Amino acid sequence: MAISFFKKTALLILILCCSIGSGYAQSPQATFDSANDKLKAGQYQQAIALYKNLESQNTVSGALFLNLGICYQRIDSLGRAKYYFLKASRFEETQDQAKQALNFVEGQFSRQSAVLPKLPWDIATDWLRNNIGATNLLLIGIILLNLGILVFIIRWFVSWYPNYLKYGGYAITGLAIIVMCGSLYTRYVSTRYSTAVMVKKKIPVVEKPQKNSSLVSQAFEGYTFTVDNYKSKSHPGWAYVRMSNGLYGWIPNDEIMIL
């Protein structure tokens, strides 16, 4: 009887502790609302801390990134503001607001980088990656491939327009192969390359991943880079980047934020 009494008492204490703990644990929505209140009150550092806490828990949204960008813009950390506005622009619900904010922030940078136009296949790959995705593209290719095979099978059982069915099957199968190859290339590009934003005021881009290496160019806050993730892996702490003006070089990881 005594053992049973102690078990029941321990269980009640455990339930009570859990109840108290859950009372103190703030829900993500409550944290987000609290951060919004801090933002409205002009307490930007406190708001950033709360938003970053949600980001670390992977409780993210377009509104979260948009508000983080606003906070950083208000404390004049324009590189970080640009980074979060770019992230917010990937969400449909905040896309328009984020683009307006990006236009405003771009006009605030003291230095502007020369920008080379993207090649047509780079534009196409970016569009596929951002609007369809490599996985969905592969699924479309598989569906088309099965449809092409189905057309060939139908041709064996019907005698209507055999040549049309034959060439139609070839065309659909060929299109399926092209789409699947596009999916593989899009996945490769998404894995190997990332976009990064310069968040420090000024930093040299150098030829080798060494602080005393020869200078390639100077980078300033707000500059965007394309990071080669594969080459960067061989030198921890450094990122191999392509600047928007077409130059290549190395830059310390802590000077940039990678999308």
Residue carrying structure tokens 């136009």:
117
What DSSP assignment string belongs to 49-102? HHHHHHHHTT---HHHHHHHHHHHHHTT-HHHHHHHHHHHTTSGGGHHHHHHHH
pLDDT value, residue 38: 93
- At 193-215, the pLDDT tens digits run 999 999 988 889 999 998 889 99
Distance CA 64, CA 192 (A): 27
pLDDT value, residue 2: 45
Nearest to 62 by CA among 89, 42, 99, 80: 89
- Sequence-separated (6 or more) residues with CB below 8 Å from residue 27: none
Instruction: Copy the structure tokens of residue 108.
Output: 């605030």
- Sequence-separated (6 or more) residues with CB below 8 Å from residue 224: 113, 195, 196, 197, 198, 244
Instruction: Copy the structure tokens of residue 118.
Output: 């993207």
Q: What CA dihedral angle connects 209, 213, 219 and 223, to 10 degrees? A: -20
Is residue 257 helix, strand or coil? strand
| Percent of the chain with pLDDT strictly greater than 90 | 48
Section 217-242 average pLDDT? 91
Is residue 217 helix, strand or coil? strand
Instruction: Copy the structure tokens of residue 1.
Output: 């009887």
State the chain's mean pLDDT as an integer.
85
- At 12-47, the pLDDT tens digits run 555 544 444 444 446 888 999 999 999 999 999 999
Distance CA 149, CA 168 (A): 10
pLDDT value, residue 4: 53
- Sequence-separated (6 or more) residues with CB below 8 Å from residue 86: 98, 102, 195, 197, 259
pLDDT value, residue 26: 65
pTM of the model: 0.75
Amino acid at 168: G
Distance CA 202, CA 191 (A): 28
pLDDT value, residue 13: 54
Instruction: Copy the structure tokens of residue 185.
Output: 């290339």
pLDDT value, residue 20: 42
